[in-house]
């Protein structure tokens, strides 16, 4: 059975990441730190031969993918389904502000209720299904090949949980740093994590998603 080998990378740092502010699907650009992280990915990926490059259509991901795409000679295929979870009324707030202004909603978010959708956003269950379906479709399209995917921290979490069969409610016991390199193998039978949160190419990397 042929499987796809997929390098999955979270976007570089933004000013909102540094502030602990919820971005979700709000279109925030990279900070100067994030731009430097995007450039640092180029030599780290240079030894690989990728059949294709996919990216979320949000600016911070497109900007992260751009230097590698140029160096590898690949035109990014933009996939809206690779976007971050829609956090509804939490977006633009810091986590502290969300906890203070919407305490009941915040408690449901922290409890990882699968059907809670922030009133105007996306439930965890639906986000999981979207993320896994998108990456699964990419894997099916590129069976036997190696591909590069630039996306968001939430999508990475859903992908890892699916690969390990760990469910949605268990505590997150792994890192998801900005611009880290992660490898999975995905096929019709099962997914497998090959490597995770590689940051040797970076001076520093922030994992702001733990709150």
Of the candidates 74, 66, 57, 56, the residue with the CA atom closest to the CA atom of residue 150: 56
Between CA 60 and CA 183 the distance in angstroms is: 21
Q: Which of these, 83, 80, 78, lies nearest to 52 by C-alpha position?
A: 78
Catalytic residue among 13, 19, 79, 84: 84
84 given a catalytic annotation: yes
Active-site hit among 11, 86, 142, 152: 11
DSSP 148: E
Contacting residues for 123 by C-beta, under 8 A, at least 6 apart? 114, 115, 116, 117
Catalytic, 142? Answer no
Q: Show which residues are catalytic.
A: 11, 84
């Amino acid at each position: 059975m042929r499987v796809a080998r997929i390098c999955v990378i979270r976007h570089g740092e933004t000013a909102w990441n540094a502030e602990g502010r919820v971005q979700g699907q709000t279109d925030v650009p990279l900070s100067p730190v994030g731009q430097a992280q995007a450039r640092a990915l180029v030599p780290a990926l240079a030894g690989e031969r990728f059949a294709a490059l996919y990216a979320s259509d949000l600016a911070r991901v497109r900007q992260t993918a751009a230097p590698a795409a140029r160096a590898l000679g690949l035109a990014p295929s933009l996939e809206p389904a690779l976007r971050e979870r829609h956090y509804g009324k939490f977006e633009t707030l810091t986590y502290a502000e969300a906890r203070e202004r919407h305490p009941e909603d915040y408690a449901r978010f922290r409890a990882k209720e699968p059907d809670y959708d922030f009133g105007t956003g996306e439930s965890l269950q639906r986000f999981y299904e979207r993320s896994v379906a998108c990456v699964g479709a990419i894997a099916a399209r590129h069976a036997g090949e190696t591909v590069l995917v630039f996306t968001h921290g939430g999508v990475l979490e859903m992908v890892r949980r699916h690969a390990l069969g760990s469910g949605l409610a268990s505590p997150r016991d792994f890192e998801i740093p900005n611009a880290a390199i992660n490898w999975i193998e995905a096929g019709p039978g099962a997914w497998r994590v090959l490597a995770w949160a590689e940051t040797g190419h970076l001076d520093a990397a922030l994992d702001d998603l733990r709150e």
